[in-house]
Amino acid sequence: MDEQIGLFEHTITSQLATILNKTGELSQYLSKSMFLISIGANDFIQNYFDPLYLSSKQYSHAQFAQLLVDKFSQQLKRLYDVGVRKIIIMDIGPIGCLPTFTRAHNATCDEDINDAVSQFNNLLSSTLQKLASNLPNSHFILGRGYNTFYDAVLNPAKYGILDVNNPCCTTWLNGKLACVPMLDPCPDSNKHLFWDGYHPTEDVYRYWISQCIHDSSFCYPMNLEELTRA
C-alpha cells in the first residue's frame, strides 16, 4: 500500500500537475474525486492465518488488528496530505466463511477467523470517525459488507443464492484456491456466493455497489449519492 501511494504521488506531480496547471484546479480535482479502497483480507488470509507465517504466534487477534489499523491510518493521512478528501473503505468480509477455510474444517464458517476480522472492522470504524473529525473537509466512508455477506451465508435464499459452499469455477485443491485456467465455469454463477475459493461472484459485488450508492446504512455515514454532493 505504501508503494501504491508513492506511485500515486508520483503520478500527481509528474502528470496531473502538468495537465491541470491552472491555479487551484489540481486541488479541486483531487478533492472532488472519490477513491475506493478494499484492503486487509490478504493480511489475514495469506499472513496471519497462514501456518507458514509466525504472525499468529507473535500477536493476539486484537494486537494484529490494531497493528493493521494503525498502519492503514497513516496511509490514509498520506492520501489526505496530497489532496484526497473522499475515500470509501470497504470493511473485511467474513473470510472465515471462504471455501479456502471451510473445506479444511468441514464447517460453514471458521468463527475464530471471523472474530479476528470483526475486531479489525470495529477498530477501522472508530478510526475512520476520528480521522474525519481531525482532518478538515475529509470524508471517510465505511462500506459495511461484512454483515450482508455473513447474512447471505446463513440465509442464501433471501438473496436468490442456492450454493454458499462450492465455487462457480473449478479450482485448484478441490475448491480451495483460484480457478483452474481453460475450464468452463458453472452456467449459473448468479446462484453461487463464491466465484473461486476466495472471491464472491459478480452478482454479489453488484449488490454491494448498489447498496453503497443508495443506502447510507451500508456505506456510512453517507452513501455515494450523498458523497458526490458533499
CATH assignment at residue 103: 3.40.50.1110
Percentage of residues in the chain having pLDDT higher than 70: 97
Structural domain total, the chain: 1
* 78 domain residue, yes or no: yes
**Burial level of 167, CB count in 10 A (0-12/13-18/19+)?**
buried
Residue 87 predicted with pLDDT over 90: yes
Residue 43: inside a domain? yes
In a domain, residue 123? The reply is yes
Residue with cell 459452499: 165
Q: CA 177, CA 167: separation in Å to the nearest integer? A: 9
202 CA to centre of own chain: 15
Three-state SS for 197? Answer: coil
Instruction: Return the pLDDT at 195.
Output: 95
Higher pLDDT: 158 or 19? It is: 158
Report the alpha-carbon angle 147-149-151, nearest 5.
65
Cell triple for 24? 487551484
For residue 55, give every residue at least 6 positions away whose Cβ sits within 8 Å of its Cβ, in sequence order, or none: 47, 48, 64
Residue range 166-183: mean pLDDT, rounded: 89
Query: Span 11-25, mean pLDDT?
Result: 83
Asked if residue 206 belongs to a domain, the reply is yes
Q: Is residue 80 in a domain?
A: yes
Provide CB contacts within 8 A for 86, sequence distance 6+: 31, 32, 33, 34, 35, 139, 141, 227, 230
Answer whether residue 98 is part of any domain.
Answer: yes
> Is 82 a member of any domain?
yes
**pLDDT greater at residue 51 or residue 215:** 215
Residue 164: its pLDDT value, please?
92
Stretch 66-70: mean pLDDT, rounded? Answer: 97
Q: Is residue 194 part of a domain?
A: yes
Q: Which domain holds residue 155?
A: 33-229
Residues 127-150: tens digit of each pLDDT: 999 999 999 999 999 999 999 999
User: φ and ψ at 89, to 5 degrees?
Assistant: -115, 120
209 in helix, strand or coil?
helix
pLDDT band at 106 (very low <50, low <70, confident <90, very high): low
Residue 23, pLDDT score? 62
State the pTM of this model: 0.91
Q: With bands split at pLDDT 50, 70 and 90, how would you rate the model's confidence at 229?
A: very high
Decide if pLDDT at 17 tops 90. no
**What is the pLDDT of the chain when averaged over all its residues?**
93
> For position 108, what pLDDT does the model report?
83
